[in-house]
Amino acid sequence: MTDDERQIRRLVDSWIAASEAGDVAALLALMTDDVIFMTPGRPPFGRAEFVADVENAKGMTVDARAEILEMEIAGSHAYIRNVIDVVLTAPGASPRRMSGYTLSVLRKGADDRWRLARDANLVAPERA
């Protein structure tokens, strides 16, 4: 495994840990300034909307797992295809299970750190 592959795997692990902790600052450090998220049913959005979504989820418990299924690195860009399983639990509510695939484009910065630049997220509620 190359150093870039290890760094990208650590980025995914750090993303999951920060998501579970609700750590907005840590999540922002893992993405580029021009990040774009694409999810079903809404127009693409950036950092400000992402932060608002995380802030709106305060108090929710997140238990997530991600598995990298594919990784390709080409210079200062890479893509990863993941499968994600997550359980979201709002205070006083039943757990909501979600799962699905993501395709993420990463960019290596001048500081040699990989960050999320584009994310197409198809994670959706699991069917009963």
Query: Domain containing 12: what range?
Result: 3-125
Contacts of 65 (CB under 8 A, 6+ apart): 16, 84, 85, 86
- For residue 78, what is the domain's CATH number? 3.10.450.50
Q: What is the mean pLDDT of each run of 10 residues along the chain (128 residues)?
A: 97 97 95 97 96 90 96 98 96 94 98 98 86
Helix, coil or strand: residue 26: helix
Between CA 86 and CA 107 the distance in angstroms is 25
DSSP 43: -
User: For the whole model, what pTM was predicted?
Assistant: 0.93
DSSP 45: B
Q: What are the respective helix, strand and coil percentages of the chain, to the nearest 5?
A: 25, 45, 25
